[in-house]
Structure 1
Amino acid sequence: MEGLSKSDANLIVYVHPSQSKNVDKAILRELSSLLFKYSQAFDGVVLAYSVDPQDKCARILSGVHPYFGVRLRANLLIFSPKPNMLLEGKVVKITRESIHCIVLGFSSAIITDENIRNELKYKAKHGEGVYVSRYHKRHVIKVGAVIRFEVKSLDEEILHISGSLIPANAGSVHWLCSPVMKLG
Structure 2
Amino acid sequence: MSGVYAGRALKQSISSVARCSRPQYLRLRAQRPAFKPMVRSFTASTRISEKKYTEDHEWIELSSDGKTGTIGISTYAAAALGDVVFVELPTLDLTVAKGDSMGAVESVKSASDIMTPVSGKIVEANSVLEDTPGTINKSPEGDGWLAKIELSDVKELEGLLDGEGYRKFTEEAEGH
Normalised by the size of structure 2, how large is the TM-score?
A: 0.23
- Which has the higher Rg, Structure 1 or Structure 2? 2
More strand by share: 1
More helix by share: 2
